Amino acid sequence: MDQQDAAERVAATPYTLGSGARELLKWLALVMMTGDHVAKVVFGGYLPVASELGRVAFPLFALVMACNLAQPGADLGKSIRRLLFWGVIAQPVHALAFGGWLPVNILLSFVVAALVILALERQRAWLLLLAGGVLPAFVDYQWIGVAVVVLGWIGFRRRLWWLPLLGLAALCWHNGNGWALFSVPVLLAVGRVRWTVPRWRWAFYVYYVGHLALLAAYAQLLR
């Protein structure tokens, strides 16, 4: 009986990327995303290498977020409020930079994914219908993007390492290329090292809004 209990505890323990590794992956993804945004706004949509690496940014963000939310004691409500706050601030400059209000910026996309996870945890059918069925129509990568986060969250919590690959495969189909799968070796390589990267939470959000504001200013000067 003791051995069975121990086995169940191991099976229920989420795979853990260290805090430093998660922070490093988040900043790597932000740099990749910045390059992709510059390619879209400054170079008319495509810049070699930068545009390809941009396809890696979203799955890295999604898997890091999934791992964060899978940690014991993760505060879903706090994460949703923080993402919503900064996502609302970022949305006007995001719209000015890219010439439209839809799809919404990535922070609001992750709000939708977190709401789906909240609905699953609290068994709220109406919230699941809204967040999983309706709201993805307004976010980048739509239902596939939300699925990458949710499948990653389930995979980290249940130790089903193959499950996030289904979402990444769908993302590759959506993008028309296989670059999203490159996020897996990047995550594994970074995750094997114990990094001591400080957690600059506010700096991350300020940078995200700031780089969009600069791109928005550039886009408005050209119009």
For 155-170, what is each residue's pLDDT tens digit?
999 888 899 999 999 9
Q: Is the pTM of this model over 0.85?
A: yes
Could you tell me which residues are beta bridge partners of residue 84?
A: none
Vertex 29 angle, CA 26 and 112, to 5°: 75
Q: Quote the pLDDT of residue 163.
A: 93
Helix (H, G, I), strand (E, B) or coil at 139: strand
Residue 3 has pLDDT above 90, yes or no: no
Residue 198, token pair as written in the block = 């400080």
**Are the CB atoms for 152 and 164 separated by under 8 Å?**
yes
Q: Quote the pLDDT of residue 200.
A: 72
**Are the CB atoms for 50 and 163 separated by under 8 Å?**
no
Residue 16 has pLDDT above 70, yes or no: no
**Pick from 61-75, 89-103, 107-121: least confident:** 61-75
State percent of the chain over pLDDT 90: 76
Q: Quote the pLDDT of residue 223.
A: 66
The H or E element containing residue 199 is none
Q: What is the mean pLDDT of residues 57-83?
A: 94
Q: What residue type is assigned to position 159 of the chain?
A: R
Spell out the residues 6+ positions from residue 153 whose beta carbon is closer than 8 angstroms to its own. Answer: 66, 69, 70, 117
Q: Buried b vs exposed e over 47-65: b needs ≥16 C-beta within 10 Å?
A: beebbbbbbbbbbbbbbbb
Per domain, the residue ranges of the chain are: 16-222
Spell out the residues 6+ positions from residue 16 whose beta carbon is closer than 8 angstroms to its own. Answer: 67, 71
Rounded CA separation 30/183 (Å):
13
pLDDT digits (tens, 9 = 90+) for 171-199: 999 999 999 999 999 998 888 777 676 77
Q: What is the mean pLDDT of residues 60-84?
A: 93
Q: Mean pLDDT across the chain, nearest whole number?
A: 89
